Amino acid sequence: MSPDFETFKTLSTQGNLIPVHKVLSADLETPVSAYLKLSAKRKHSFLFESVEGGEKVGRYTFLGADPFLTVTARGRAVEIFRNGKTRRQRGNVFEILRDLVGEFHPVGTEGLPPFSAGAVGYASYDLIQLIEPRVPKFRKDDIKMPDAMFLFFATLLAFDHVKHEIHVIANVRCNECEKSLQEGYLDAQYRITQIEKTLAGPLPTPKKNLPSGPLEVQSNVGKEAHCRAVEKAKEYIRAGDIFQVVLSQRLEMEPGVDAFQIYRALRTVNPSPYLFYLHLDDTVILGSSPEMLVKVSNGEVHYRPIAGTRPRGTNESEDRTLAKDLLQDEKELAEHVMLVDLGRNDLGRVCEFSTVRVPEFKIIEYYSHVMHIVSSVQGKLKSGKDAFDALMSCFPAGTVSGAPKVRAMEIIAELERSSRGVYSGSVMYLDFSGNLDSCIAIRTMVVRGQKAYLQAGGGIVADSIPEREWEETMNKARALLNAVDIARES
């Protein structure tokens, strides 16, 4: 293990969060098996994986269980659970998270992965009222989930897929060492040893699949109602209210299988840059999002809008033909350019003006069932701005709301029947050094009890064809529905 105690004491003079870690070989362990072992009988846990561009495995996988602090928000009512006690306060959960993250001053050591301690969680689309109060609430909230939940981890695992190593990291929170630094150091060593023992043990007994009959999937709107909503949105576009708006439908089902089995199938049928599994007591959020919301790394802000979709072909030749057709589709290109401009505007509010740039513009990325037009927008944070400012400036993404963004969200609240919840919000991690990596919660499923929910939408513009927009939502839902089918058959 490193560092040794004398080095640890020296590091403790430089900050209040000191990592102790050990490197293990990963040749006999996978992220899935490690997660199953560590999360067994735990209320809260997470697994974050990545397949860049849908084709290349990302270098790191992160996972953890047993957070030392949790934050739960419903509107402006926020609960903070810490050291066995719950504290309640009112306010903007993003501001409260900023204060909590700011309590920790990590000391960097060589050899650690980019995320070694921090907060993991989600923020629902419905939190927009904290940022833009004029956007009305949805008429109905039938899933009744918290608007946000974040888990703070001082102990976690990081798989390095390049070196085939597992970093077991146990941070010492020096401010909370009850007796001495040595006690905190020994406790970190103990946590690492216990994780080693858990990894060396057997896999827990898998839960049995109990599907009964064919899978029944119900939409919360149906095709006819969705098409009527598209026509109404086009009326707003013709009247000059908006240029574009994203309308969605939610699908509901009873899979009859364990949620992690669905995730295992999903990571195979739809590998994506953001693969995530959040176990939050009685709720699971799982997904394979292709789209970054915003990333902040050492003061550099990254935004990667995706807009423009075609289904995949049956071979490379068909893929090339479909990609060429997509890049010649004036409706798709106009929508994409508009959302790139919206992203530049969002970053411009928090970045130094001269630094906002578009290093990639209108490239094609391929995923398991669809292809997308993708661009990249980057900038450098202004002095006095941080990752939370960047998050709130971009939240929610224009690619899941519309343009102009605020008016589009007002129309979404009018035309969609139920609150969006996690869908089109964000799943993310925030480290204690001020860095952030977040994705848009699309291609995402929420599992509560026996019910599972997934939602998909499409951008409506002046010449949108309602039936085609309906088909696009179903295409985007297909990967998750296929994953459910595979899990039920396994």
Kindly tell me the burial class for residue 109, based on how many C-beta atoms sit within 10 Å of its own C-beta (0-12, 13-18, 19 or more). middle
CA 133, distance to chain mean position in Å, is 24
Q: From residue 432, how far is each of 1, 100, 118, 171 by CA, in Å?
A: 22, 9, 5, 11
State the catalytic residue, choosing from 344, 443, 478, 488: 443
State the catalytic residue, choosing from 423, 434, 453, 473: 423
Q: β-strands 165-173, 444-448: how paired?
A: unpaired
CA–CA distance, 14 with 10 (Å, rounded to integer)? 8
Known catalytic residue: 372?
yes
Known catalytic residue: 263?
no
CA–CA distance, 188 with 353 (Å, rounded to integer)? 44
State the catalytic residue, choosing from 399, 402, 453, 478: 399
Q: Which residues contact 172 (CB under 8 A, 6 or more apart)?
A: 8, 12, 17, 18, 19, 20, 154, 181, 184, 185, 187, 188
Known catalytic residue: 459?
yes
Say how many C-beta atoms besides its own lie within 10 A of residue 25's C-beta.
10
Known catalytic residue: 226?
no
Structure tokens at 258: 């364990």
CA–CA distance, 456 with 221 (Å, rounded to integer)? 12
The label of the residue with tokens 């941080």 reads 386
CA–CA distance, 287 with 369 (Å, rounded to integer)? 15
CA–CA distance, 12 with 15 (Å, rounded to integer)? 6
- Supply the residues annotated as catalytic: 372, 399, 423, 443, 459
